Structure 1
Amino acid sequence: MVYDPSLLIVLALGLLVTGALAGVLAGLLGVGGGIVIVPVLFLLFDALGIAPAVAMHLAVGTSLCTIIPTSISSARSHHKRGAIDVDLLRRWAPVIFVGALGGGILSKFLDASALTLIFGVIALAVSINMAIPKTLVVSDQLPSGPVGAGVLPFGIGGFSALMGIGGGTLSVPVLGAFSFPVHRAVGTASAFGLVIAVPAVCGFIWAGLGVEDRPPLSLGYVSLPAAVLIFSMSVLTAPLGSKLAHSLNPTRLKLVFAAFLFLTALRMLWAVATGG
């Protein structure tokens, strides 16, 4: 497959900008850069003429790869500010890891429409949750027993892997629903990103081995050039987002991002409904 050099330059610049934005959002809002990276990659891969059956898996797998260095950078910054709940991280990390590995393996057996549908539905719910002025509170503490120790972290790990996100998109609102302090939720979620991304990437690499119509320099469902361009910027901007999270009230920015996410989710759901 031969690509127009001018198109490749534009796409490379687009990936750098996407990485910078994703890094800031990962640190600032705790939503995980993947919620931006996946739809952008999906559109860019489509512009390159990559088959729709491959594009969504490639977008998710590549996004997960970028989350590894970004989450390390973001988590280190939050840890310096004492914003990571180490006890919760120790309890949830093993279960999140298993859920993420399961999600990565499951991707091999899901077609592009199913993967896009999962992303679209959850992204739509997240956008609505972000737009609601008052955080939904279910309880004043995290549940104990199987739900708190198993169901919640396993679900966060599994669905995050299938969406190509780092976990903040799901774990921050879940923790907030149980009265977890927002700054500690965002900080701890940044560490969850690494726990999710490593096993999930392994699953997507395995799932994509030998699949045809992938772009050059792809490892399974991971586009290495795209991943490098994105995380080269996201690693630099994640600490900035973390710093802003502790000095700004991001309410207005959340509303703008919620609107963007809402429209993006509708676009992806429309693609599933119409088959294009």
Structure 2
Amino acid sequence: MKFKIKNLKGSLPGFIAGILNGLLGAGGGMVVVPMLEKSGIEPNKSHATSIAVIVPLCILSAILYLAGNNLSYYDVLPYLPAGLIGAFIGAKVLPHIPGNILRRIFGAFMLYSAWRLLMG
């Protein structure tokens, strides 16, 4: 497989998503979802694909934070059970949400997140 400039262009959003994920948590999805939709992937598949991209980034970030003593397992454990249940439910519900509704939910979440960040 030959390296092409097109491959590099596709790598840039992944690079940005990795940086955002390391800095902000799973914030890389804010880059990946719009990028995938712009490339022609339907919203439901964009969100699912984004999760598949973000999971390895989250795992690497978590390992680095744990290894650097910036986080302890005890800080993480209370959130895991509910988070896993929520992820399971979200994955089951996602295919049944129409794309236009999913875009609105995603946009509303991004606006709410921005408002919280701005209001401190």
Q: TM-score range by the shorter chain?
A: 0.7 to 0.9
Alignment match of 1:78 (pick from 44, 65, 71): 65
Structure 2 unpaired stretches of 5+ = none
Contact map agreement 2:22 2:61 (CA 8 A) in 1: yes
CA RMSD of aligned residues (A): 1.8
Partner in structure 1 of residue 28 of structure 2: 33
Q: For residues 115 and 26 of structure 2, what CA distance do their matches in structure 1 show?
A: 13
After superposition, where does 1:1-276 map in structure 2 within 5 Å?
A: 10=6, 12-45=7-40, 55-132=42-119, 135=120
Q: TM-score normalized by structure 1?
A: 0.40
Contact map agreement 2:20 2:28 (CA 8 A) in 1: yes
Structure 1 unpaired stretches of 5+ = 1-7, 136-276
Q: For residues 111 and 19 of structure 1, what CA distance do their matches in structure 2 show?
A: 26
Contact map agreement 2:66 2:73 (CA 8 A) in 1: no
What is the aligned-residue identity percentage? Answer: 29
Q: For residues 111 and 81 of structure 1, what CA distance do their matches in structure 2 show?
A: 42
Q: For residues 61 and 10 of structure 2, what CA distance do their matches in structure 1 show?
A: 19
Q: For residues 28 and 15 of structure 1, what CA distance do their matches in structure 2 show?
A: 21
Q: 1:44 to 1:34 in 2, by over 3 A?
A: same
Which one has a bigger Cα radius of gyration?
A: 1
How many equivalent pairs are there? 117
The structure in which a higher percent of residues are helix is 2
Partner AA of 2:10 in structure 1 = L
Q: For residues 44 and 59 of structure 2, what CA distance do their matches in structure 1 show?
A: 24
